[in-house]
Chains A and B, each alone.
Chain A
Amino acid sequence: MKRITAVLMAVLMITGLTACGEADPDKARESIQVIAMDTPMVFTAYGEKSTHAVYMAEDEARRLDALLSRTDENSVIYQLNHADGLGITVGEEVCGLIEAAEAYSQATGGAFDISIAPVVSAWGFTTDRYRVPDEAELAELLTHVGSEHITTAEDAAALDPGTQIDLGGIAKGYASDRVVAIFRENNVPRGKAELGGNILVMGDKPDGTPWRVGVQDPAKPDEEAYAAILTLEDAFIVTSGSYQRYFEENGKRYHHIIDPATGHPADSGLTSVTVVADSAEGNGTMCDALSTALFVMGEERALDFWRSGTYDFELVLVTEDGRVVVTDGLKDILTEVEESGYTYEIVS
């Protein structure tokens, strides 16, 4: 009898220890890496439902990819772009995104514009067949660019003939908004998501400290080199930079961030713009749109826009002349990187 009791106690001990291992939510960690929206994505979640959460995030990214792709013939955006000026039903979600993009375009004086798509294509950035278009071609294409060529109503949209849109400038930001919603629905206490240049950090790290986010040094894009390090919890961080995609012709470099005012790659004196905001749903989309717009606007106009208080966000600007300009909301959570060679300026 005593022997049986001893064996039972051992079994109970095993069960108890195993249960201890499962009770800690930080032991339940799931991380997956996928390709969607033409970019690698990594979803990492902690908590009991971490596995469910990351696979839901993957499904959502793929759903949005199919819905918003400009090149997939089955996508709503492709059909809208090829509707020859007719209005079509795009659904409330897509209509809402187009209207959000229009709002960011208005707020930034046209520096962000989803109808710049044909101009971007003329430079070859959508097909990887790079070329420098001539001025006459650009001038003709620019006549179809602008908010006035886009009409939305409830769940329908229409484009003027010759106008095409690409939601690529906010699609990954919107996807990150959906990821944060999915993580919250699944009670994920902490996690992170990387969607190309769009980052979400949720909660703190398992050791209780904030996430350390390195801002890639634009001068050394292929190295583990940072222009600055930010310590953040519950935040979206999005970077747009001229180093991310470019080609060279006749010794001149042409990058992928096109200024809707000129049809040429933005020549704003910046090499990267990083926008930071809290993880409230919707801010992922905002950070995505603003990182592009503020790159086009350049340092002075970007800081004026930040000071206007139109939206609640903070900035890290890296300039061509070797400065890192940081808005004062980040001054206490920014670590300078001495070996980067940059000089640092806090602005208010």
Chain B
Amino acid sequence: MAATELLPLWVLVPLLAAALAACLPARRAGQLALAVQLAALASWPLLAAAFADRGPLTVSLAGLAPPLAIRLYLDGIGLLLLGLVATVTTAASLHALATPGRAALRPAFWPAWLVLLAGLHTVVLSFDLFNMYVGLELLTLAAVALVASAGTVAALAAAMRYLLLAMLGSLAWLAGVAMIHAGTGSLDLELAGAALAPGGWVSVALALMLAGLLLKAAVFPLHGWLPLAHGAAPGAVSAVLSALVVKAALLLVWRVQLWLGPAGGADAAGPLLAALGGAAILWGSLSAYRQDRLKQVVAFSTVAQLGYLLLVLAMPSAVAWQGTTLHLLAHGLAKAAMFLAAANLVRRAGDPRLAALAGSDAAAPVSVFAFALAGVSLVGLPPSGGFLAKWLLLQGAWQAGAWWLVALLLAGSLLAAAYLFRTLAALLAHRDGAGQARAGLPVPRIAELAALALALGAIVLGFAAAPILDLAALPAGPGGAP
């Protein structure tokens, strides 16, 4: 089938486009990036149709048989993630194009953007550990470059910290991968997983890989870099980083758990990871409540929301996986919408502090509305994708008898409501000093609509969840769906 053969193009096209973009003026490069993303968006239904027909897709590169070949692999969650990537990057690049600023005019911006896209696709589609490493590296380097593109001192410092820590994480991953390779002679997930035997060195290898991924995914307590980087980056970049990049690392956590874990005793690590996720929810939410800058609130919210994606490892049931998948999508859309909206609001007010954003609802109603809608999904209030995700997770927790998870999920919602409504209250507050000078710039219509479209997507997900989950709910493990 054509769609299957085209799978490698998802990696290659963005890379080639990146190379081309490096030769073009910034504006043209941006349009090229947009075109690539639109193409991805347009071809996604083909992929979905193929998946609906045949289940998980596998492509061996260079036509070799499995032990030698490098395989690309697409399971349900990968499919959905590709769709999310296409949607969010399209909206974000529209935003970046529409909002003239220093960052998007830098020559390196759009090439880095496209490399980021290629990295995302690589991580999603990879089926062997080294390719995953390559994907992660592409992702990290591009992300660092994009954070730095904001050009402020804070952004440079944050990018530096991000770079160093991400390298540390990559090293840990690479060390683990090397041990696996040494032990099994294979980098292919399926083959390595089959060859693994529980034992001391396997535990160490898996632990190193997981720790590295957790650092890249900014899971508590390894999240220190994220609020700085996401807070300082340009709006469109923050959106992509928060909605997609950290998810890529989490996808690998699941992959490792599902394919390598059974042999390596992953069930035992599940509760630990879930506990870290729980701590992330509480810590991130409480911290978000304490922030006095808009983008910092949103960034800490990411720290908290990522925690939900690990809870499933302590209650691995179909319902919980469905909930996790849905959460991944809903959070991706909502968080991207929120960052875009936040960027609009800050641009409008010319001041990142919450206190300075009072009266935003009159100045930029669409952005405030988008922010609020995204918040609805993040808190998990109906009707929204976030709500259905929370519902499914709660169902899973209840069925598993994991009461602490039930309490945690409910508490997490309340905390999310606390920090988001606090923020909204600040946005809606009446402006006292009417004569106060505004240093802000106008926000183009498209930038506002991009945020609104994503936020509406998160809400619509609350009604369209059934077909999506029917199509592809679960990340597949060796025996198919868990």
| Chains A and B bind each other | no
Instruction: Give residues in A with beta carbon < 8 Å to B.
Output: none
